[in-house]
């Protein structure tokens, strides 16, 4: 497993649905909605100019909402994961 640095998080991205439960195909224009996923690893927090570390607001296991094209896809243990900054996360799904 990879341990992210600073305010980066590793997300196991949810699969995007291309059809509805009734079998209708979702058009590309509707696929531009934010994505969701589960956090699998977090860094320790961002380091400010004065040397103070700001704590992370998210933690491992949180389901989060983030922009569709945020971060970078990486391969960890033969699975695709997303690495993004905590500041790119739009919200925590409860």
Distance CA 58, CA 29 (A): 30
What are the tens digits of pLDDT across the range 33-87? Answer: 789 999 999 999 999 999 999 999 999 999 999 998 899 999 988 899 999 999 9
- State both tokens at 29: 């224009």
In this prediction the pTM is 0.81
Instruction: Give the per-residue SS3 of 62-77.
Output: CEEEECCCCCEEEEEC
Taking the domain 8-16+24-93, which CATH number applies?
2.30.33.40
- State both tokens at 44: 């320790």
């Amino acid at each position: 497993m990879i341990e992210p640095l600073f305010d980066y998080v590793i997300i196991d991205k949810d699969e995007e649905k291309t059809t509805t439960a009734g079998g209708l195909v979702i058009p590309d224009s509707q696929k531009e909605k934010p994505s969701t996923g589960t956090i699998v690893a977090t860094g320790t927090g961002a380091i400010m100019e004065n040397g103070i570390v700001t704590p992370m607001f998210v933690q491992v296991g949180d389901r989060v909402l983030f922009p569709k094209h945020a971060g970078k896809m990486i391969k960890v243990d033969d699975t695709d994961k997303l690495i993004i900054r905590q500041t790119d996360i739009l919200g925590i799904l409860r």
